[in-house]
């Protein structure tokens, strides 16, 4: 798999999605 298949990857996705999601 590469970024072209899956888009930009973030190692901190869990923290980032937590800060973006509605509380």
Cβ partners under 8 Å of residue 3, min gap 6:
9
Report the distance separating Cα 23 and Cα 14, nearest Å. Answer: 14
Q: Compute how many residues bind other proteins; rule: CB under 8 A.
A: 17
Is the distance from CB of 10 to CB of 16 less than 8 angstroms?
Answer: yes
1-23 residues in contact with other proteins (CB under 8 A) are 1, 5-14, 16-18, 21-23
Q: From the CB of 19, what's the least distance to other proteins, in Å?
A: 10
Q: From the CB of 11, what's the least distance to other proteins, in Å?
A: 5
Site for other proteins, rule CB under 8 A: 1, 5-14, 16-18, 21-23
């Amino acid at each position: 798999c590469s970024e072209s298949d899956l888009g930009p990857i973030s190692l901190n996705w869990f923290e980032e999605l937590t800060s973006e999601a509605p509380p």
